[in-house]
Amino acid sequence: MRLYAESSKCSGCHACLVACSLNLFKENNPKKAALTILPQFPAPGVYEVEVCTQCGECAAVCPTNAIQKNTKGAYFVDYAECNLCEACVPVCPENVMFVRSGLAETAWKCDLCGDCIAVCGTDVLRIGEIQAKA
Amino acid sequence: MSAQIKALGIIKSYIGGKNEIIVDAGNTVRETMRALNIPPDVVALVLVNDTQQSKDYRVQDGDVVKLLAVVGGG
Amino acid sequence: MMNGYGGNILRVNLTTGKITKEPTSPELASDFIGGRGFGAYFLFKEVPKGADPLGPENKLIVSSGPLSGLMIPGAGKCDFTCKSPLTGGYASASLGGIFTAEIKYAGLDSIILEGISPKPVYLCIDDDKIELRDASSLWGKGTFATEKELKEKLGEEFQIACVGPGAENGVLYAHINHDYGRQAGRGGVGTVMGAKKVKAIALRGTKPIPVADLDAYRKAGMALFDACKKSELLKPWQNLGTTMVVSWCDEIGALPTRNFSAGSFEGGKTLYGPYMREKIVITDKGCFACPSPCGKYSRMKRYGTNVEGPEYETIGMIGSNLGLAEIEDVAQANLLCDDWGIDTISAGGAIAWAMECYEKGIFARADTDGLELEFGNVEAVFKLIEKIAKREGLGALLAEGTKRAAQKVGKGSEKFAIQVKGMEQSAYATHNATAMLLAYMTADVGAHHNRAWAITYDLQVGRELVNADKVARVIWLQHLRPMFDTLGACRLQWVELNIDLELYPPALEAITGVKRSWQDLHLVSERIWNLTRMYWAREQKDFGRAWDMPSPRFYTEPPKSGVTKGQITKLDDVNKMLDMYYEQRGWTANGLPKPETLERLGLTMLVA
């Protein structure tokens, strides 16, 4: 299972980011969220949403095995095991592997909690089966 | 031939608190509202099968007509 | 650290360059809560009596609220308060977008701009790294180019609030832009920022916002989101936003037409919401944490441009009020106002007044710089917007607002300057709608609709009815609606989606740790309302009843066409309503708060 985002429906509200940071860090801080909204203004005038596809590339390169699968089958970061080496960041094809040592002493990523979906009013997000690449 | 009128928000109070009511098709939305004692002016938006229509739209068999008032405005 | 708050008031003395922070006082938070409450308090307390609105003694107070930046629907509203250059009284404008959230993440509740900078600057806030930076290369640029340049220079995470050439040139109703399409629009809040030579505020914060009870807050926030998403009104509202009411207002005689000479516009159909959606809308754009985005980002193929909008007010004031029938033209005019940086509502009001002057022969083509200022002339509107922003030719006169312009020109033009207290009336024609008329008469910033909106109520109980219940309704709305501006969140989830108001107090309590019922909140609103009334009384000589009178058009000139043809309110009824309003508010017959009212609200010391 993974998160899917239909970017064309995104209104740029950031509610998903706050819900996410509350889940991952119990904090109201959208800069510690595990998905990204990229506004493209003034032209073309749309938002792009980047989400984790649960591809596992991050887990494959992590030298401390800090990235494991949770009960939902989603990759998550075990904060206790992360040593901030940042090996995971450049291998993420969606740019949703986050390390900001000023904000947290661990890398972080989407753990498929689904809270983002609960607060999205325009049906951008859903959780579905991982589709095999063509 | 009949249609369904769905009363949203305060419009419910004009039809005895009901959410919806079945009416005859063939009349305009305006005529239908008058027959139900809903003052046409109070209805800000008429959606027929989820598309905005004017109050002069003639209601057809099977239409779902939502009547909406703007209580709060801008 | 105060739960629900950023925690600090930032003071920026532009004259000396000194920047200081002080902790937000818990008493202030208790008595005035935040947002426009903080704005009203600092304005009354710190801007001295008689201050020149464009001078160093005026302050621009930018305030977030306890709901801002949190997981609460619509938690994206920011208040801008100052002494108004347009009216000489109280100005407060509300900005949507993301800016208010960022204020909280930077550990702030209010940013107070004081003095005047010797050179153009922008204020750069990056968490605790705060400095004034040279803005000479940005000065003169439009708001879109300014925001783009600052975001490219500083990073996409920075939220930008900026002014355009309109503010730099001193147009008295210049506004502040943010997020490519949201504004703090009315009363000249942008003018004050421009007078202080502050081109922009660039802001980034990476701190979390503390809350009192995390689990209760998450639960209460989710309940609010759930209510919004389950509302039957969500989808229609998302689809059309405020443009939903254009056709309806046209039908009921509320759509301002040709300088409010009527309330229905025969060309109106090509301004309606569904037509607009199909013709130009490309994205639904929303503010912070809003599940019901009302913003309609549009592409005008005819002009090759984009704009966020137009929303109802601009459609009314620049569309039907100027006789413009095609939405794409209105959208382009909207863009010009936004980029030059002037309020679309006041600009529309001023241009409409000028068009009526032209129609009546008060202006000849020599007075209009050769423009054929006829209602419906699109090109003239585009040119005049630019002239106003540059204060050139006729634009210099119109840049002062219709009250001053009409005083200068005379010849009976004062009779059709559609304004109250010096602020142009916003887009609801009130020839025969007594609650809404009273709302415009008594709004605290001048003739603005967002304090009390009573259009449906007038139709439900009877347009021409004048009674104590109507007056009570207006007062209730004047406390309820602005409370959202005080809390730092949008009221439209309640207003448009009809969600249960009782969902808010548990959220507020979980966030701040302070239990408040709506009754408690109404009292705070009443306190703010009376404080700003006392501010007017202090600043305007002979302030009183005369300042609450509507434009005479609404009691002397029944429309000659449209739905409200032949209908007009009687002057007798205008006065009756005002009498009842003052009585219900605990004010004197001249409209000033009585001592016992001030005492009840705990204001006696502050206003002494």
Q: Least CB-CB distance to C456: which of B6, B42, B54?
A: B42
Q: In this complex, is the C-beta atom of A126 within 8 Å of any C-beta atom belonging to chain C?
A: no
In the CATH hierarchy, which fold is given to the domain comprising C434-498+517-607?
Answer: 1.10.599
DSSP character at residue C14: T
Chain C residue numbers touching B9 (CB-CB < 8 A): 232-233, 498
CA neighbor of C585 nearest in space, from C574, C573, C598: C598
Distance CA C159, CA A22 (A): 22
- The encoded tokens of residue A86 equal 């940042």
Q: What is the pLDDT of residue C164?
A: 98
Question: How far away is chain B from the Cα of C118, in angstroms, using its nearest Cα?
Answer: 39
C383: Cβ contacts below 8 Å, ≥ 6 apart: C371
DSSP alpha helices (H): ranges in C60-188? 99-105, 143-154, 165-168
Chain A residue numbers touching C218 (CB-CB < 8 A): 22
CA neighbor of A30 nearest in space, from C181, C283, C212, C289: C289
Contact (Cβ atoms closer than 8 angstroms) between residue C246 and residue C546: no
CA neighbor of C237 nearest in space, from A22, B2, A122: A122
DSSP alpha helices (H): ranges in C165-304? 165-168, 189-195, 214-230, 234-240, 246-252, 273-280
Contact A122 C293 (CB under 8 A): yes
Write down the CATH superfamily of domain B2-68.
Answer: Beta-grasp domain (3.10.20.30)
pLDDT in tens, A47-102: 999 999 999 999 999 999 999 999 999 999 999 999 999 999 999 999 999 999 99
CA neighbor of C408 nearest in space, from C348, C354, C364: C354
Q: What is the pLDDT of residue A132?
A: 72
Per DSSP, the three-state class of C407 is helix
Contact (Cβ atoms closer than 8 angstroms) between residue C427 and residue C400: no
* Distances from the Cα of C372 to the Cα of B12, C349, C354, C455, angstroms: 50, 17, 11, 35
C53: Cβ contacts below 8 Å, ≥ 6 apart: C82, C83, C84, C85, C88, C188, C191, C192, C195
Give me the amino acid identity at C133: R
Residue C75: closest C-alpha in chain A: A15
Residue A134 has pLDDT above 60, yes or no: no
CB-side exposure of C553: number of CA atoms within 13 Å?
27
* Cis ω for the linkage preceding C558 (within 30 of 0): no
Residue A133 falls inside a structural domain: no
Contact (Cβ atoms closer than 8 angstroms) between residue A91 and residue A58: yes
Contact B41 C459 (CB under 8 A): yes
Q: Least CB-CB distance to A43: which of C179, C292, C306?
A: C306
Tokens 């441009």 — which residue?
Answer: C305
Contact B8 C233 (CB under 8 A): yes
Distance CA C53, CA C291 (A): 38
* Distances from the Cα of C568 to the Cα of A33, A41, C490, angstroms: 56, 46, 34
Contact (Cβ atoms closer than 8 angstroms) between residue C447 and residue C423: yes
Question: Residue C60 — left, alpha, or beta (φ > 0 → left; ψ -120 to 50 → alpha)?
Answer: beta
Contact B44 C245 (CB under 8 A): yes
Distance CA C97, CA C178 (A): 7
CA neighbor of C69 nearest in space, from C185, C186, C203: C203
Three-state helix/strand/coil letters over B15-47: HCCCCEEEEECCCEHHHHHHHCCCCHHHCCEEE
pLDDT in tens, C199-210: 999 999 999 999
Question: How far away is chain C from the Cα of B2, in angstroms, using its nearest Cα?
Answer: 23
Q: What CATH number is attached to the domain comprising A102? A: 3.30.70.20
Contact C245 B73 (CB under 8 A): yes
Q: What are the structural domain ranges in chain B?
A: 2-68
* Strands ordered across the beta sheet of B2-7: B20-24, B2-7, B64-68, B45-48, B51-52
Contact C222 A15 (CB under 8 A): no
Distance CA C457, CA A39 (A): 39
Q: Please state, rounded to an integer, the average pLDDT across all residues of chain C.
A: 97
- The encoded tokens of residue C454 equal 């009573």
Distance CA C513, CA C30 (A): 11
Distance CA C188, CA C403 (A): 14
DSSP alpha helices (H): ranges in C33-180? 35-46, 99-105, 143-154, 165-168
Chain A residue numbers touching C299 (CB-CB < 8 A): 45
Q: In this complex, is the C-beta atom of B30 within 8 Å of any C-beta atom belonging to chain C?
A: no
- The encoded tokens of residue C287 equal 């503010």
Q: Which of C239, C458, C498, C501 to mutate to test the interface with B (most CBs of B within 10 A)?
A: C498
Chain C residue numbers touching A9 (CB-CB < 8 A): 284
Q: What proportion of chain A, given as a percentage, has pLDDT over 70?
A: 99
- The encoded tokens of residue C594 equal 């009585």
Residue A134 falls inside a structural domain: no
Q: Least CB-CB distance to C238: which of A21, A118, A122?
A: A122
Give me the amino acid identity at C156: E
Give the bridge partners for B64, in sequence order.
Answer: B4
Per DSSP, the three-state class of C280 is helix
Q: In this complex, is the C-beta atom of A63 within 8 Å of any C-beta atom belonging to chain C?
A: no
- The encoded tokens of residue C2 equal 């105060």
Q: What is the pLDDT of residue B71?
A: 76
Tokens 């938002």 — which residue?
Answer: A47
pLDDT in tens, C522-576: 999 999 999 999 999 999 999 999 999 999 999 999 999 999 999 999 999 999 9
Top-level class of domain C232-424: mainly alpha
The helices-and-strands tally (H runs, E runs) of chain C is 26, 17
Q: What is the pLDDT of residue B42?
A: 94
Does the CA dihedral C222-C227-C229-C234 come out positive or negative? negative
Contact (Cβ atoms closer than 8 angstroms) between residue A26 and residue C209: no
C605: Cβ contacts below 8 Å, ≥ 6 apart: none
Contact C232 B66 (CB under 8 A): yes
Contact C290 A11 (CB under 8 A): yes
CA neighbor of C178 nearest in space, from C99, C125, C106, C91: C99
pLDDT in tens, C159-176: 999 999 999 999 999 999
Distance CA C323, CA A55 (A): 57
Distance CA C134, CA C79 (A): 25
Q: Domain range holding A71?
A: 2-128
* Chain A / chain C CB contacts < 8 angstroms: 106
Q: What is the pLDDT of residue B74?
A: 62
Banded pLDDT at A133 (limits 50, 70, 90): low
Q: What are the structural domain ranges in chain C?
A: 8-204, 232-424, 434-498+517-607
Distance CA C450, CA C11 (A): 29
10 Å CB burial of residue C27 (0-12, 13-18, 19+) is exposed
Residue positions counted in chain A: 134
Q: Please state whether beta strands C198-204 and C121-126 pair in parallel, antiparallel, or not at all (unpaired).
A: parallel
CA neighbor of A88 nearest in space, from A76, A80, A72, A103: A76
With a cut of 70, list the residues of chain C below it in pLDDT.
none
Q: In this complex, is the C-beta atom of C458 within 8 Å of any C-beta atom belonging to chain B?
A: no
Q: What is the pLDDT of residue B73?
A: 65
Give me the amino acid identity at C533: R
Chain A residue numbers touching C225 (CB-CB < 8 A): 15, 118-119, 121
With a cut of 70, list the residues of chain B below it in pLDDT.
73-74
Q: In this complex, is the C-beta atom of A91 within 8 Å of any C-beta atom belonging to chain C?
A: no
* Other Cβ atoms closer than 10 A to C267: 15
Q: In this complex, is the C-beta atom of C312 within 8 Å of any C-beta atom belonging to chain B?
A: yes
Residue C105: closest C-alpha in chain A: A29
- The encoded tokens of residue A83 equal 């040593």
Neighbour subunits, C (≥3 Cβ pairs < 8 A): A, B
Residue A39: closest C-alpha in chain C: C156
Contact C450 B45 (CB under 8 A): no
Q: Indicate whether this model's pTM tops 0.95.
A: yes
* Other Cβ atoms closer than 10 A to C126: 17
Task: Report ipTM for this prediction.
Answer: 0.97
Residue A22 falls inside a structural domain: yes
What is the number of structural domains in chain A? 1
DSSP character at residue C367: T
DSSP character at residue A114: -
Q: What is the pLDDT of residue A65?
A: 97
Distance CA C221, CA C218 (A): 5
Residue A34 falls inside a structural domain: yes
Q: Does domain C8-204 have CATH number 3.40.30.10?
A: no
Residue positions counted in chain B: 74
Helix (H) or strand (E) holding B4: strand B2-7
Q: Least CB-CB distance to C209: which of A28, A39, A121?
A: A28
Q: Which of C100, C284, C294 to mutate to test the interface with A (most CBs of A within 10 A)?
A: C284
Contact C460 B8 (CB under 8 A): no
Helix (H) or strand (E) holding C335: helix C327-340
